[in-house]
Amino acid sequence: MPQNSINTNVGAMIALQSLNTINRDLATTLRRIATGLKISSPKDNPAVWATAKMQSAEAKSLDAVRASLQRGQSTVDVALAAGDTVTDLLDQMKQKMLAASDPSLTTASRKLLNDDYVSLRKQIDRAVENASFNGVNLISAGTNGNIRALANAKADQTIDVDHVDLSTGGAALAGMRADLLTAPSSTDIKAMDTAMQNVTSALSRLGTQANGLDTHLTFIDKLQDTLEASVGRLIDADMAQEATRLQALQIKQQLAIKSLSIANAAPSYILKLFGG
Q: Each residue of 169-201: pLDDT tens digit?
A: 999 998 899 999 999 999 999 999 999 999 999
Each residue's pLDDT tens digit, 208-227: 999 999 999 999 999 999 99
Instruction: Tell me what pLDDT residue 275 has.
Output: 61
Can you tell me whether residue 213 is helix, strand or coil? helix
Give Cα separations from 250 to 225, 238, 254 (angstroms): 37, 18, 6
Give Cα separations from 184 to 110, 169, 190, 213 (angstroms): 11, 19, 10, 42
Can you tell me whether residue 175 is helix, strand or coil? coil
pLDDT score of 256 more than 90: no
Give Cα separations from 155 to 57, 71, 226 (angstroms): 15, 16, 20
Each residue's pLDDT tens digit, 127-180: 999 999 999 999 998 766 789 999 999 989 999 999 999 999 999 998 899 999
- Of all residues in the chain, the percent with pLDDT exceeding 90 is 60
CATH of 63-235, one of 1.10.600.10, 2.40.50.140, 1.10.40.30, 1.20.1330.10: 1.20.1330.10
pLDDT score of 206 more than 80: yes
Q: How many residues are there in the chain?
A: 276
Q: Measured on CA atoms in the order 27, 29, 33, 36, is the torsion positive or negative?
A: positive
- Work out the pLDDT band at 9, boundaries 50, 70, 90: confident
Q: How far is residue 273 CA from its own chain's centroid? A: 79
Instruction: Tell me what pLDDT residue 33 has.
Output: 87
Each residue's pLDDT tens digit, 223-251: 999 999 999 988 888 888 889 988 998 88
| Torsion angle in degrees (nearest 10) through CA of 165, 168, 170, 175 | 140
Q: Break the chain into its structural domains and give their ranges.
A: 10-36+237-274, 63-235
Each residue's pLDDT tens digit, 35-50: 888 888 888 889 999 9
Model's pTM, two decimal places? 0.75
Task: Name the packing angle between helices 107-129 and 46-100 (round to 10°).
Answer: 170
pLDDT score of 265 more than 90: no
pLDDT score of 31 more than 80: yes
Of 145, 133, 139, the residue nearest 75 (C-alpha): 133
Helix (H) or strand (E) holding 147: strand 147-150
Question: What is the average pLDDT score of the chain?
Answer: 89
Q: Quick one: three-class SS letters along 49-97?
A: HHHHHHHHHHHHHHHHHHHHHHHHHHHHHHHHHHHHHHHHHHHHHHHHH
**Regarding predicted confidence, which is higher, 58 or 265?**
58
- Of all residues in the chain, the percent with pLDDT exceeding 70 is 93
pLDDT score of 270 more than 80: no
Instruction: Tell me what pLDDT residue 1 has.
Output: 45
